[in-house]
Structure 1
Amino acid sequence: MTSEGMGTAGLAAMAAVVLLTALHMPVALSLLLAGAAGLAWAGALDSAWGPLAGLLRTPDLLLVPLVLMLGNAAFYAGFATRVHDASAVILQRRRGGLAMAAILGCAGFAATSGSSVGCAATMSRIAMPAMLGAGYDPRLAGASVAMGSTLGALLPPSMLLIAWGLLSGTPVGAMFLAGLPAAVLSLAGMAAVVLWWVRHDAEAAPLPQPLAIAAGAALRAVWPAPVLFAILVGGIFFGLVTAPGAVAICLAATLAFGVIQQRLTAGTLWLALRESLRQAVSILLILFAARLFLTFLDVAGIPAMLADGAAGIPRPVAVLLLGLGCAVLGLLVEPLAMLVLALPFAMALAGAHGLGPVWAGIVLAKLAEVAMILPPAGLVVIVIDKAIRAVPARTTFAGVERFLFPDLLVLAALVLFPGLALAIAG
């Protein structure tokens, strides 16, 4: 078989995954069928065992069940949503305070769950009724939750960054640290848009009736979430523990705090464990199938072909093309499938321009974040639409448009100044 024929087969396999997933076949099954069929056709099934065994031996694989259990335990213990509650109290006298509290609450939820979609489903039910009840513009209410939820793609322990690390062979701890600068800049941009919006349209965010809760009491209630985040980031940054070790410590602390505060009972612990196991099986199946699929792409020579093509394209143009591809994929597949399909392109782009997989992973995570909010089928917005019927998707999309410019500025900064993604990761 010629190299051109193998390359064509690899591209056909990628198209098949997109088609099958768009037809609502489970992501894991789509990747498995395309990868296994491709390897069998190429007579290279034996080449799959080594990469699969390597994935199973990777200690970072433990992060999948650990992060899921951490997120579920923090949710049932009430830690994941306290950042929003405390922020709403502290910012209650500032116009637009509830919208900024929603964004900060999403950041707090993402910092324990690692999931943008889960954040959108939960925080929309918590933050949006408060904003709508206070008379907020539905566009601002929906968009603040949608934008805040996308921080789950960059803030540790992001499941997208975990998947990237496992599939690209990059230490996940480095990915966690590398995502922080982009997440902080994105958060600052979202807050700036809220302040600009309410300054130019005061009626978009009327001042609510003050809550009879002191700011000090709110801060005392919120302490578990920042402590857990500090343990996670600090432990990895100072080299005290590995990423799985840091998450395991956070999980143990969450369980201890929850039991001591009588927020975690035998019943809620069982629910958290059951949900975590179900979610872990689903994600692990996707990762194993993705590893098989990516092995076929290697056999087909797709990475080498992409690297040759990327070498002659300026970096900003190449990222723009990759972003357009992610925007199209965002209409058809979920974020994890998007990451798998775009991984060879991102790695080829990084290699052609002398940049490493850490930078490529952060740029791709940022592109996936943007794709999750783009009309007409941004996944995060659709999730919010299903959770809060009072605010239709088209209304949230109309609000999201105002947040896109600073989000794209952050992406441009990552492209033009690659060291930004490596400032903390090293």
Structure 2
Amino acid sequence: MDPLVLGGLVALVTILVLFSGVSVAMGLLIVSAGFLLTFDGMRSLELMPEILFGKLDNFALLSIPMFIIMGSAISSTRAGADLYEALERWLTRIPGGLVVSNLGACALFAAMSGSSPATCAAIGKMGIPEMRKRGYPDGVAAGSIAAGGTLGILIPPSVTMIVYGIATETSIGRLFLAGVIPGLMLVALFMAWSLYSTWRSGDAERLGAGRYSWAERFEILPRVLPFLLIILGVLYAMYGGVATPSETAAVGALLCLVIAMVIYKMWSPRAIWVILRDSTKESVMILFIIAAAGVFSYMLSSLFITQSIAEWIGTLEVNRWVLMLVVNAFLLVAGFFLPPVAVILMAAPILLPIITSVGFDPIWFAVVLTINMEIGLISPPVGLNLYVINGIAPDISLKTILVGSLPYVACMIIAIILLCLFPGLATWLPEMVMGASL
């Protein structure tokens, strides 16, 4: 069978299997085993266990459970509520300042936890009721938190960036740095829209009500600063040549646990056990998907599907930006149905040779891909953040949450366009700190 036709068949079968309800990892293994057995015989199946476990034989993978523990320790405390309250006290006099405070808290909490659902849950529990009490529309209150939570997979340290780096053998340090400026740009776009929408509604003065003394503003800072110092310390250790990403993640996880115990009095062994248990579950899920995606990539390569797709695209006489538009459309649709980790592991090894062959930077592409995944997190039918927000505020309908988040989807599309016009937004900081990539 022609490899391109076989590739289309693999894509169709993979979609059907994943839609059947099986886990992503098991679905990828089932598809891989089925096609290898059918088109390559029993011999290829003998290599599957070796590939499955060999894909996990990577020192960089140690950073994933460590960063997850770090985020879980923060998520299990009142750190999110304190972040929200601190920003509210400092920004409350700004018209529309409460929604800006929520977005700022989402950005900071995302940097500490690296998790979009955790960010939505932590900030949303405090922010949504407060915004509704102050008179903000339900769509604005819910949509802004749903969109702000997506920042967790872009702003470093990001587990999604680690997965991309491992899947494409790209420097994780460079990827983290590449997400900084685009992440801040997205925060600025979100805040700008929020201020504009508040001004346009004519409720600017009413929604800017609230007054705190300087003593109240400074009183809450000691509870927030230690976590922010950990983030700065983690980034300094990585880019100052002090430690590897895995070693830095381990120290960061330990410090977050210690701060949770000291500042938030989390002395109960049961509470520590819950953090470790939940972190282990999430880590195993991600690592299992990584291992299964390795087998899936082997199947595509063994049946010459990857090579044929890359060769076919190379023969197309189209402008490279047209090609990038097609790639973005594919990623956007894939993000509607699959979690970011699954999309990256399945698509990145195929897409990377294609985009590099036409002159695009793989670090820049990682940021564009990640923003596409952010859009998927607040888009039906699988938009995870929509359901997290609905769980926090069940009296707000999914339709209202979705409509409220649509302006922020437009902000993300604008960010992708800006990255295409000015690639240096993603590549300048990595090159300045770590030098030009070879």
Q: What is the TM-score normalised by the length of structure 1?
A: 0.91
Bigger shift: residues 43-52 or 92-101: 43-52
Residue among 264, 268, 284 paired with 2:271: 268
Q: In the alignment, what sits opposite 2:385?
A: 380
Q: In the alignment, what sits opposite 2:237?
A: 235
Q: In the alignment, what sits opposite 1:359?
A: 364
Partner deviation per Cα, 1:81-132 (whole Å, 9 max, x = no partner): 4322211111111121111111112112211221212322333222111111
- Give the 3 Å change call, closer, same or farther, for CA 17–232 of structure 1 in structure 2: farther
Q: In the alignment, what sits opposite 2:12?
A: 15
In structure 2, how many angstroms separate the alpha carbons of the residues matched to 1:366 and 1:386?
A: 24
Counterpart amino acid of 2:184? V
Counterpart amino acid of 1:34? V
Tell me whether 1:33 sits opposite 2:35 in the alignment: no
Aligned length: 423
Q: In the alignment, what sits opposite 1:285?
A: 288
- Give the 3 Å change call, closer, same or farther, for CA 26–168 of structure 1 in structure 2: same
Counterpart amino acid of 2:261? V
- Post-superposition offset of 1:356: 4.1
In structure 2, how many angstroms separate the alpha carbons of the residues matched to 1:350 and 1:85?
A: 44
CA contact (8 A) 2:60 2:245 kept: yes
Q: In the alignment, what sits opposite 1:103?
A: 103
In structure 2, how many angstroms separate the alpha carbons of the residues matched to 1:81 and 1:252?
A: 22
Residue among 246, 250, 253 paired with 2:252: 250
In structure 2, how many angstroms separate the alpha carbons of the residues matched to 1:90 and 1:206?
A: 15
Counterpart amino acid of 1:15? L
- Post-superposition offset of 1:285: 1.0
Residue among 345, 368, 393 paired with 2:373: 368
SS state at 2:208 partner: coil
CA contact (8 A) 1:63 1:247 kept: yes
Q: In the alignment, what sits opposite 2:334?
A: 329
- Give the 3 Å change call, closer, same or farther, for CA 402–78 of structure 1 in structure 2: same
Q: What is the TM-score normalised by the length of structure 2?
A: 0.89
CA contact (8 A) 1:146 1:400 kept: yes
Gaps of 5+ in 2: 432-438
- Give the 3 Å change call, closer, same or farther, for CA 412–386 of structure 1 in structure 2: same
- Post-superposition offset of 1:35: 1.8
In structure 1, how many angstroms separate the alpha carbons of the residues matched to 2:313 and 2:411?
A: 27
Tell me whether 1:215 sits opposite 2:217 in the alignment: yes
Counterparts of 1:103-252 in structure 2, within 5 Å, are 103-203=103-203, 206-211=207-212, 214-252=216-254
Counterpart amino acid of 1:166? I
CA contact (8 A) 1:350 1:359 kept: no
Partner deviation per Cα, 1:64-86 (whole Å, 9 max, x = no partner): 21111111111224334432221
Gaps of 5+ in 1: none
In structure 2, how many angstroms separate the alpha carbons of the residues matched to 1:414 and 1:300?
A: 35
Q: What value does the CA root-mean-square deviation take over the aligned residues?
A: 2.3
Partner deviation per Cα, 1:238-276 (whole Å, 9 max, x = no partner): 222211122122112212222222532222111101111
Bigger shift: residues 75-84 or 32-41: 75-84
Bigger shift: residues 213-222 or 92-101: 213-222
Counterpart amino acid of 2:323? A
Counterpart amino acid of 1:24? G
CA contact (8 A) 1:108 1:225 kept: no
- Post-superposition offset of 1:135: 1.2
SS state at 2:430 partner: coil
- Post-superposition offset of 1:382: 2.8
CA contact (8 A) 1:151 1:369 kept: yes
In structure 1, how many angstroms separate the alpha carbons of the residues matched to 2:313 and 2:236?
A: 37
Q: In the alignment, what sits opposite 2:306?
A: 303
In structure 2, how many angstroms separate the alpha carbons of the residues matched to 1:209 and 1:330?
A: 39
In structure 2, how many angstroms separate the alpha carbons of the residues matched to 1:208 and 1:33?
A: 57
SS state at 2:56 partner: helix
- Give the 3 Å change call, closer, same or farther, for CA 23–331 of structure 1 in structure 2: farther
In structure 2, how many angstroms separate the alpha carbons of the residues matched to 1:119 and 1:20?
A: 30
